[in-house]
């Protein structure tokens, strides 16, 4: 398993139900969602997943 995949699974495990739906493409992402999710993933040190978001 690649580092990017491990970071993705960790972030999806830690985030809430609505954020999980956004990241999996089930709900539309707003700019404020993008800003918040990239901030949190950067704060957690998930650099590769931050770039994927």
| pLDDT at residue 2, rounded to an integer | 92
| pLDDT at residue 47, rounded to an integer | 94
CA distances to 13, 47, 51 from 6, rounded to whole Å, are 11, 12, 14
| pLDDT at residue 51, rounded to an integer | 93
| pLDDT at residue 1, rounded to an integer | 80
- Per-residue tokens: 28: 């539309």
Question: Residue 7 belongs to what H/E stretch?
Answer: helix 3-14
pTM of the model: 0.85
pLDDT means over runs of 10, the chain (53 residues): 92 95 96 96 94 92
């Amino acid at each position: 398993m690649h580092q990017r995949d491990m970071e993705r699974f960790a972030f999806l495990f830690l985030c809430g139900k609505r954020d999980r739906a956004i990241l999996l493409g089930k709900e539309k992402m707003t700019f404020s969602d993008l800003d918040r999710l990239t901030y949190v993933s950067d704060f957690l040190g998930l650099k590769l997943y931050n770039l994927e978001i």
